[in-house]
């Protein structure tokens, strides 16, 4: 009996090792993104799950912009909103993973993802949105490859351009044009924080519509910018007042 369970146990170990090797061997070559910028077709290939979806995605608004033309303040808004440890981690924020697991276990459902900016780039370029262990493992491994092959600024450039900002709206350039009728370089700080505020749920949140969730997240981002010394007291107070007047909601 003991021999049987030993054989059974090692069989599972071998299957698991084989599974890991298969995933590693089928990982994509992420080095192509060192110089190549994703096109509309690259985004469609990942998101299209049926012919009906493909037709819908043909209408997406997407246009590339180099990171040098995106204001530093906008980049900071995105980082503090989505991945505060972006500049120091190596693709995966294990502390955030631990906190997410804890929250999900407490709530009894998958409600918090804990993905870094690098993981989101991996998902947006290669993976579907299903929540399987296999997909998550591939996401982690691709994220590590991205960190090894690309500079941090390049990963952020990719993210700012391929992140979803609304229904069929991809990238900061089209989000800025669609919501505020401006080039990203012309955005005010309150507009930047509102744009960053909708990133977690772009299908539901809208930066120009009165919404408590957008207001709350905008203030969180603004507080972080102030805490980290990215804006001074005057900028903080002026932008807070602008948010109050725009949304006309109590603090």
Average pLDDT, the chain: 84
DSSP 3-state of 143:
helix
What is the pLDDT averaged over residues 197-216?
91
Could you give all domains of the chain from N- to C-terminal order, each with its CATH number? Answer: 37-54+64-163 (1.10.3810.10), 182-251 (no CATH)
Percent of the chain with pLDDT over 70: 76
Q: What is the C-alpha separation between 82 and 52, in angstroms, rounded? A: 31
pLDDT of residue 41: 80
Question: pTM of the full predicted structure?
Answer: 0.84
Q: Does the pLDDT value for residue 250 go beyond 60?
A: no
Residue with the bigger pLDDT between 104 and 127: it is 127
**pLDDT band (50, 70, 90) for residue 55:** very low
Which contiguous run of DSSP H or E holds residue 75? helix 72-82
Smallest CA-to-CA distance from 223 within 243, 199, 248 is with: 243
User: Of the segments 1-10, 55-64, 175-184, which one has the largest average pLDDT value?
Assistant: 175-184
Residue 61 pairs with which residues in a beta bridge?
169
């Amino acid at each position: 009996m003991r021999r049987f369970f030993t054989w059974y146990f090692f069989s599972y170990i071998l299957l698991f090792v084989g599974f890991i090797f298969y995933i590693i061997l089928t990982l994509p070559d992420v080095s192509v993104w060192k110089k190549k910028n994703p096109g509309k077709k690259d985004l469609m290939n990942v998101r299209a799950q049926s012919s009906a979806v493909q037709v819908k995605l043909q209408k997406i608004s997407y246009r590339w912009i180099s990171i040098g033309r995106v204001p530093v303040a906008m980049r900071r808004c995105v980082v503090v909103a989505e991945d505060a440890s972006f500049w120091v981690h190596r693709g995966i924020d294990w502390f955030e993973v631990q906190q997410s697991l804890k929250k999900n276990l407490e709530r009894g459902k998958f409600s918090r993802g804990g993905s870094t900016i690098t993981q989101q780039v991996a998902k947006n370029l290669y993976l579907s949105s299903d929540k399987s262990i296999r997909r998550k493992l591939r996401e982690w491994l691709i994220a590590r490859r991205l960190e090894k092959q690309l500079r941090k600024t390049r990963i952020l450039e990719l993210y700012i351009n391929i992140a979803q900002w609304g229904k069929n709206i991809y990238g900061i350039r089209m989000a800025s044009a669609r919501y505020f009728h401006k080039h990203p370089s012309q955005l005010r700080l309150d507009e930047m924080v509102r744009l960053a505020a909708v990133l977690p749920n772009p299908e539901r949140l809208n930066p120009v519509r009165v919404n408590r969730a957008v207001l709350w997240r905008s203030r969180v981002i603004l507080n972080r910018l102030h805490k980290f010394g990215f804006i001074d007291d005057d900028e903080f107070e002026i932008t807070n007042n602008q948010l109050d007047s725009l949304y006309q909601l109590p603090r």
